[in-house]
Amino acid sequence: MARAKSGCWTCRLQTKKKCDEDAPACKRCVELGVHCFGYGPRPGQDELRDDRRAIIATLGRASRTEDSKFRVWRVKPGPNIPRRAVSKPQAGQLHLGRSRRPTDDSRTPSLKDGPSHYIHTISLTALDRVNSDVLDFLHPQLLTDYTDKVFWLDSSFYQSPGPYYGNSWMKDFLIQSRKTHLAAALMGLTWRTWQDDMSRLTNIHVTRPLAVLHSLVVQSVKDDLDRAQSTITIDELLTIGVALAKCASMLLTFEVWRTLEGNWLTHLRGMGDILFWLASRAQTDMAAAMKIMAKGRAAHNEFEFMKVAPTPEKAMTYLVLKWFVQCYSWNDISAAVWLGPHYTSSRCSGFYSPLLERGHLEMDRFMGCDDWVLHAISQISSIEARSLETTHQQVLADWVREAEEWHQKLNMRLASTLMQRYESGLGPDRDVTFVTEIWIHAALVYLHVVTTGPRSNHPRLRQYVARGLYAYEKLPRRHDIHTAMPFGVLASMANEEEAGKFLMVAESPRDQNEMNPGQRKTFQIIKECWRIRKHVEESSPDSGVTWRDGATSLGLTLLPV
């Protein structure tokens, strides 16, 4: 594969140096867990032309948005703009600028025109480029205007659930760094355009430029943290972490929704880096804040919480970061089950596992499932990875013993959950027990597959699936998204009769006015799972198809589309 002569663009933007051309990938990108695009083949001219047209069409549509007062102009050097600061035009590249009034090309601007003539004309430098192989030059002022007028106020992504409707604190952080602001604004621009009209970006490599922008944000924030070292305050640290997590979360959601085949592991690693940085610099304060919030909303806890978070802004930062840790934990554990042991090396469970074990993340409020169930599934994933790493008898005996201990714990917790349901009246508390029960049965199925194998005719496996189906039938439809991963695991192991019931429940609307279009794909995927599983069980396990294929496909049908 031909290597790009310019090296890794994300590194050039930060260090103004080329990457090590002898290495298979950029070492700096690998350490940060972001995808390195420096050594891929350059796109052809036709491909670049299509990309430019899509970007121009995107910006043109945004420019017609109400209260979006930016225009596209050609950048011209002037008395107050050094000529050396203006990028030299290259063939096929778009130059964007903004001026208060048009400039007559027949005359040379002079100082008597006044500074206002150039007040909104900003030169383009190398730092304003974002992977020029894919995207053209984009003027920072244009993106700033778009961000101020449209993105922060009207982006449907920023209306998703979570305690962060006030985004002024994030905006304040992003405008401190022009590179970070540029990348985040363009990510929002592309995201919103894709949501408004998915067909508009079908011919543009959306994932690649978004991932490049994400890499730029990751490296920029990492450099800020490295330079600050011990001088950075907890408030600044958490704000940086949340802003970066927002970008990574956007990419993760975009990639999972857009295609099952996308390389979204890169973005999960980027989110893991955030948690590692926070854990190494603010672990004590974060743990204290989590612990206090986990105690509930009682009045006597407010003073304790304010001792850790003495300002409303800091309290909001803690809450937002907690939401991202919850989101990352959910995605990471689901990915560990769906993708298998080869994903374990990129997992970052060291930060959230202790919080789950102690019940500090309150996942029951986030997705209806208790912390300890997710912690158990995370540990089962680790058992699976260790079981495949060695053939030493003593090591194998240890993980078998550990697996049996988890089997007993899950059954004990299941009995406790059922008892809690019988003692609860009708209402949200009772509904949550069904969500927890489904997750427990999925954990038992996962543990059984890890220790015994995926043969679907095993009596114990049949019992787990039947009980999980019963809980799923009783589950209110509004909790469907919370059970995406366990639904995929259970339905992939269902027999024909059980699969028909899963299908009937999954395709029923959550309420009278809402229907998840993704559920329409469930029937075809269930039929394909039957065919694949029968083929695997009648042939050999090494036929290239595993139970994970069905579990992942079925689980994603419950996610919003």
pLDDT in tens, 172-187: 433 444 444 445 545 5
Q: At 73, give phi and psi (nearest 5°).
A: -135, 160
CB 424 within 8 A of CB 430: yes
Rounded mean pLDDT of 322-340? 70
With a pLDDT cut of 90, the percent of the chain lying above it is 0
Rounded mean pLDDT of 137-145? 40
Give the pLDDT score at 222. 60
Instruction: Pick 469 or 536 by higher pLDDT.
Output: 469
CA distance 205 to 262: 12
pLDDT for residue 462 is more than 50: yes
Type of residue numbered 297:
R
Rounded mean pLDDT of 342-367? 70
CA distance 318 to 292: 11
> CA 184, 187, 190 angle in degrees (round to 5)?
150
Strand partners, 14: none
Cα–chain-centroid distance for residue 198?
Answer: 19
Question: 309: alpha, beta or left, given left = phi > 0 and alpha = psi -120 to 50?
Answer: beta
Instruction: Pick 176 or 349 by higher pLDDT.
Output: 349
Give the pLDDT score at 512. 46
Instruction: Pick 489 or 7 by higher pLDDT.
Output: 489
pLDDT for residue 39 is more than 60: no
Residues 6+ apart with CB under 8 A from 11: 17, 18, 19, 26, 28, 29, 38, 219
Give the pLDDT score at 170. 37
Residue 17 structure tokens = 């140096």
> Per residue in 486-536, pLDDT tens?
877 887 787 777 777 776 766 665 554 444 444 444 444 555 555 555 555
C-alpha torsion 6→130→277→240, nearest 10: 160
Q: What is the pTM of this model?
A: 0.51
Task: Indicate the average pLDDT of the chain.
Answer: 55
pLDDT for residue 476 is more than 70: no
Q: State the residue for tokens 């969500």.
A: 435
Give the pLDDT score at 160. 33
Which of 369-373, 441-445, 522-526, 533-537: highest mean pLDDT? 441-445
Instruction: Pick 244 or 472 by higher pLDDT.
Output: 472
Confidence of residue 378 (pLDDT cuts 50, 70, 90): confident
Residues 6+ apart with CB under 8 A from 29: 8, 10, 11, 35, 36, 38, 215, 219
pLDDT for residue 58 is more than 60: no
**Segment (H or E) for 345:** none
pLDDT for residue 423 is more than 60: yes
Radius of gyration of the chain (CA): 26
CA distance 183 to 178: 9
Residues 6+ apart with CB under 8 A from 439: 369, 373, 374, 377, 483, 486
Rounded mean pLDDT of 344-370? 71
Contacts 24+ apart (CB under 8 A), 503-511: 505/472, 505/473, 506/480, 506/557, 506/558, 508/477, 509/477, 510/477, 510/478, 510/480, 511/477, 511/478
Type of residue numbered 66:
E
Type of residue numbered 122:
I
Give the pLDDT score at 507. 62
Type of residue numbered 158:
Y
Which of 130-134, 169-173, 215-219, 288-292: highest mean pLDDT? 215-219
With a pLDDT cut of 70, the percent of the chain lying above it is 24
Give the pLDDT score at 12. 45
CB 555 within 8 A of CB 487: yes
Give the pLDDT score at 479. 54
pLDDT for residue 560 is more than 50: no
Which of 11-25, 187-201, 301-315: highest mean pLDDT? 11-25
Rounded mean pLDDT of 532-550? 54
CA distance 432 to 367: 9
CA distance 242 to 496: 45
Q: Find the length of the chain.
A: 561
CB 19 within 8 A of CB 219: no
CA distance 294 to 191: 34
Give the pLDDT score at 217. 56
Residues 6+ apart with CB under 8 A from 193: 58, 61, 62, 200, 201
Give the pLDDT score at 84. 32
**Segment (H or E) for 153:** helix 152-154
CA distance 421 to 443: 19
CB atoms within 10 A of CB 103: 17
CA distance 316 to 310: 11
pLDDT for residue 287 is more than 80: no
CA distance to 7, 23, 143, 415, 503, per residue, from 263 (Å): 21, 22, 27, 39, 29
CA distance 556 to 558: 5
Please report, for the chain, the start and end positions of each structural domain, with discontinuous segments joined by +: 384-556
